[in-house]
A and B are shown apart, each in its own frame.
Chain A
């Protein structure tokens, strides 16, 4: 009689990798905690201060609403114009970056590299540089938002363009279309909905960004945050927060509805 095959339980896979990962994460956290001088005890001991700050904010200074309508509208204007210019500049950038439109790698890769560089610079920093060049006001804010928008719109759209259906493109090539016709009839009909949707999304992001650009002097409501916090006028800060909240929520809602219809 042959021996029945021995049943052996396979050893569980080694967990060293998991332990190692956990150890690295833990080490990073401890080092960060030391580096930043964090102390959660501080947070606990200072809780009265935090609470009094929040209490000071109520009731909000409703009369102040009248004063901030104009800067609020200015914030929206900056976002509208910045997003529009950004969208216009994005179009050629998208065509350069998408590797199914521009088949020349030594152009598309550098274009993508530049796009990635643009995306690494925070918008507040862009605004600070433009304030140094153009002086205080809306203009530097618009410039900063324009560049910031190109980074988002071009990146998202060129990735969508790379995923579009090849059929129409091949068909246009087969009938002998030139490059402009090829783009107009094969690319644009497929990419337009994505493009508009991303522009709307960028507009939402830009509203939030525009609300803080004033901190470096680039126009909009941010300047008022700065001055009121400086003067410790918390009821007014609360009014500002409520106004920003209202505008952002309304614009998010409208933009979301529009995007749902588009895609």
Chain B
């Protein structure tokens, strides 16, 4: 009787490599964690921690309502915060438009100078924290809300520019080509084919950035650049917890309200 042919099933290829990769990732992660946790200072909870937490909690439950209507009080601080973010966002939106076109990759003439450099400049701007920018502007124009406006205006360009560039990259080239075919000049092409396509996106992203800037503006006061941050840091350092509580509530209400309004507007636009 002839022997039946034996079939051997090959092991699925690439499995060893996959396992090896997984093990490698795990080892790297473990190394990172060992390194990270080894550097943490000893964690000891001070005896006062409990009392202070309780005091903060008490303060948040029983806010210092009298601060709301004071001169230079909560309302004033929140309006100042809002004003800083409105003006800062507007400045950055205007300044970002050329950056957005600069950093967008184009079919015809993308290269180092048109796209690459623009992207690098934008990530360079993004790296500077707004607080550090605010410190630098304070040196230039003095402490106050205007330094905050400039800091937000400059910092926001980094993120907005990236989003604007993506919007420009996504446009439909048909209308542009049609206009060129009818002999429109460059400005007419821009106004009648490019801008109508990118504007809704630009406005929507600007509103989104505005939401972030309201949060940003509420802490700028910590280093003296206007807004609600200044009374907040005073209250924190003087351990006036009821006042911290009322300011915290104020920030939460303001930010939530702006998020709601801006979210509604963005839904309508896009």
**A residues adjacent to B (C-beta < 8 A):** 28-29, 31-33, 35-39, 42-43, 46, 49-50, 53, 73-74, 76-77, 80-81, 84, 116-117, 120-122, 124-125, 128-129, 132-135, 137-139, 142, 208, 211-212, 215-216, 225, 229, 241, 244-245, 248-249, 252
**B residues adjacent to A (C-beta < 8 A):** 32-33, 35-37, 39-41, 43, 45-46, 49, 52-53, 56, 79-80, 82-84, 86-87, 90, 123-124, 127-129, 131-132, 135-136, 139-142, 144-146, 148-150, 215-216, 218-219, 222-223, 226, 232-233, 236, 239, 244, 248, 251-252, 255-256, 259
Contact (Cβ within 8 A) B216 A122: yes
Contact (Cβ within 8 A) B129 A33: no
Contact (Cβ within 8 A) B90 A37: no
With A29-B90, A117-B252 known as contacts, the answer to whether A138 contacts B123 (CB < 8 A) is no
Contact (Cβ within 8 A) B49 A43: no
Which residues of chain A have C-beta atoms less than 8 A from B49's C-beta?
133-134
CB of A2 to closest CB in B, whole Å: 37
Contact (Cβ within 8 A) A36 B135: no
Given A31-B83, A133-B49, 20 new contacts (CB under 8 A): A29-B90, A32-B84, A36-B87, A37-B146, A42-B142, A74-B39, A80-B32, A80-B33, A81-B36, A120-B255, A120-B259, A124-B131, A124-B222, A128-B236, A132-B52, A132-B239, A137-B41, A225-B135, A245-B124, A249-B127
Contact (Cβ within 8 A) B87 A125: no
Could you give 27 example pairs across A and B, Cβ below 8 Å? A28-B86, A29-B86, A35-B79, A35-B80, A36-B84, A36-B145, A38-B145, A42-B146, A43-B150, A46-B140, A50-B139, A50-B140, A53-B140, A76-B36, A81-B40, A120-B251, A120-B252, A120-B255, A122-B218, A122-B219, A125-B232, A133-B56, A134-B46, A134-B49, A215-B223, A225-B135, A245-B124
Contact (Cβ within 8 A) A241 B128: yes
For chain A, what secondary structure do more than half of its interface residues adopt (helix, strand, loop), or is it mixed? helix
5 closest A-B pairs by CB: A36-B145, A32-B83, A35-B83, A120-B255, A50-B140
Which residues of chain A have C-beta atoms less than 8 A from B46's C-beta?
134-135
Complex CA gap A28/B261 in Å reads 15
Contact (Cβ within 8 A) B236 A132: yes
Complex CA gap A121/B223 in Å reads 17
Complex CA gap A133/B49 in Å reads 5
Complex CA gap A133/B244 in Å reads 14
